[in-house]
Chains A and B, each alone.
Chain A
Amino acid sequence: MIYNEKIECANKEDLKNIQSERLVKLAKYIYDNSFVYKQKLDKEGIIPTDIKSIDNITKLPFTYKEDLRDSYPFSLFSTDIKNVAEIHVSSGTTGNPTVVGYTKRDLNLWANVAARSIACAGGNKGDKIQISYGYGLFTGGLGIHYGALRLGATIIPTATGQTKRQIKLMQDFKPRIVACTPSYILYIAEEMKSLGIDPKTSSWEVGIFGSEPWTTAMRDKIDSTLGLTATDIYGLSEIIGPGVAQECTYRQGLHIWSDLFFPEIIDPKTGKSLPEGQAGELVITTLTKQAIPLIRYRTRDIVSITYETCKCGRTVPRISKIKGRTDDMIIVRGINIFPTQIEFALLQIDGTLPNYQLIVDRTPSALDTLEVLVEVDEKLFTDEIKALENLKIKIKRAIDSTVGLGVSVKLVEPKTLTRTEGKSKRVIDKRNLH
């Protein structure tokens, strides 16, 4: 089903006019309402009236994750905090999380794009949807929830965990749609097998999976194991959360709702636009957001884009699955983790930073694990096993509470961690996600 045919299948000229009109308004809005953006534009010598159409977007400066960090918690907001209806946070690069706010109109926008996405995946009004994303500060659960409500689906908000109950409710309520991380659906399938239930007998026909990168090989595995059509949803909380882009049932890339989230693909080194089809960093401008609109936000996700009309009839552009990152962020069980966060936690132990390495792996039952190897140095070493075990627990607690995920910590001998050009390789990802 196409939720908003007028927009999703608009002719390209009309779409461009909408984008131009919105960008012109946005430039004025941020200049008048955000001190941070006014400063940014002044620095570049740009005034809002320089922006006359969407083609002028490249005149505007980029926004980086660091801008969000530096403005913690609310100073990048373009509206008084009183007008903010909801706040979410995601991982920051250090101790402070990244804060995003939504006015009521932003929440309405979010509901619309998430509804478009669920419909794009193959969902219809009246379908039952099991939402097995985390609810709370994480945008996954509530974003899909608002979208399902807008679409008119019947929501089963199971959230994550309690897998046996998830399976029972699926069997008893027979939802047609399931939404969660791709690794969690495979975990559910494993759990079904161990309970003696054939995952193919699941009631799910449509899967909406996202918030972590996954391959087409993994998609095939999910399709064949669970007998459903697995689709990829893209989103990041800085932009809105889930519902920025979504695969249709043809699964030839993710339709990005470009009337609201204007995409550019750039060379991450030079900042210059790349031609259609070439992989580069995805940059997004939120054309209509109120609380925290972002201009040319550097997502750090590497994708390519196509402007060809899709077989499904939608004319909006499509981005590829994420091919990689321009930074060292890793996603484990849907949670974004930066090595700098681990450093922040390790520094809390005794003020010095031991050498460390992150090993990300996936268990046979498709659960992601994060192991932190910490080199023991003379300052940390004591003669007693008990004291070393306590040190391990202390490190684990500090990291767990910083990244919001249970990690395992392993103490290793000095100089054993892989180094390249004298610098140690911080992250080893054994999952082959790209």
Chain B
Amino acid sequence: MNTIKQVSIFIENTKGRLAEVCILLGKHNINIKALTIAESPEFGILRVVLDNTDKAKNILKDNGFIVTIATVVAVEVSDTPGGLAKVLNVLANNNINLEYMYGFVEKARDKALMVLKFDSSKRAIEILQKNNIPIIEEKIALGL
């Protein structure tokens, strides 16, 4: 599996709402591997990569959250100056549109793990592979 499932959660900009999501996940022993928040003045979208996506999805839904699953790609980036630039350059040169991107919480040694979201993951993966940019499989990324 070259892609990873990401959980996106609609969150109103109210005090403590983000904490509630995290408490809920923690209570059910679900670990957050990567996280980012996209925000507008009134609401935000919490995007997380979790070690148990299906379980998390059900729990969140049962607790009244609006959830959708998106497909993302995890790539390994050299944790040195210009490491990320190299990856982005490959994408730009091949006309791959990157919708958003964020980093994993934990760092793999001297490499950084990045989550990338494309409108078409399939073509992006082809280009990344052709350019020898390591794609991390779901199992490994999630530490399973």
In B54-83, the 8 Å CB interface with A consists of: 64-68, 70
Decide: A412 and B45 in contact? CB cutoff 8 A: no
B93 contacts partner chain A, Cβ-Cβ < 8 Å: no
Rounded to whole angstroms, the CA-CA distance of A388 and B43 in the bound complex is 9
Nearest CB on B from A29, distance (A):
55
Knowing A382-B68, A383-B47, A383-B68, the reply to whether A413 touches B10 (Cβ < 8 A) is yes
Choice from B10, B47, B99 contacting A381 with Cβ under 8 Å: B10
Query: When each residue 2-44 of chain A gets 1 if its CB lies under 8 Å from chain B and 0 otherwise, what string results?
Result: 0000000000000000000000000000000000000000000
Nearest CB on A from B137, distance (A):
22
A-B contacts, CB under 8 A, total: 48
Nearest CB on B from A417, distance (A):
12
Rounded to whole angstroms, the CA-CA distance of A71 and B1 in the bound complex is 62
Which A residue sits closest to B66, measured CB to CB?
Answer: A381
Decide: B42 and A410 in contact? CB cutoff 8 A: yes
Which B residue sits closest to A408, measured CB to CB?
Answer: B42
Decide: B43 and A377 in contact? CB cutoff 8 A: no
Knowing A378-B66, A383-B68, the reply to whether A416 touches B12 (Cβ < 8 A) is yes
When distances are taken between beta carbons in the complex, the residues of chain A under 8 Å from B42 are: 410-411
Decide: B11 and A383 in contact? CB cutoff 8 A: no
Knowing A381-B10, A383-B47, A413-B11, the reply to whether A389 touches B66 (Cβ < 8 A) is no
Nearest CB on A from B12, distance (A):
5
Secondary structure at the A interface, as helix, strand, loop or mixed, is loop
Knowing A376-B66, A378-B66, A414-B64, the reply to whether A385 touches B40 (Cβ < 8 A) is yes
When distances are taken between beta carbons in the complex, the residues of chain B under 8 Å from A272 are: none
When distances are taken between beta carbons in the complex, the residues of chain A under 8 Å from B66 are: 376-378, 381, 413-414
When distances are taken between beta carbons in the complex, the residues of chain A under 8 Å from B117 are: 383
When distances are taken between beta carbons in the complex, the residues of chain B under 8 Å from A415 are: 64
Nearest CB on A from B29, distance (A):
24
Rounded to whole angstroms, the CA-CA distance of A383 and B102 in the bound complex is 15
Assuming A378-B68, A384-B45, what are 13 further A-B pairs, CB within 8 angstroms? A376-B10, A378-B66, A378-B67, A383-B6, A383-B8, A384-B38, A385-B38, A388-B43, A412-B12, A412-B43, A413-B12, A413-B66, A416-B12
Closest 3 CB pairs of A and B: A383-B8, A383-B70, A381-B66
A–B pairs, 20, beta carbons within 8 Å: A376-B10, A376-B43, A377-B66, A378-B68, A381-B10, A381-B67, A382-B68, A383-B117, A384-B38, A384-B45, A384-B99, A385-B38, A385-B40, A388-B10, A388-B43, A410-B42, A411-B42, A413-B12, A414-B66, A415-B64
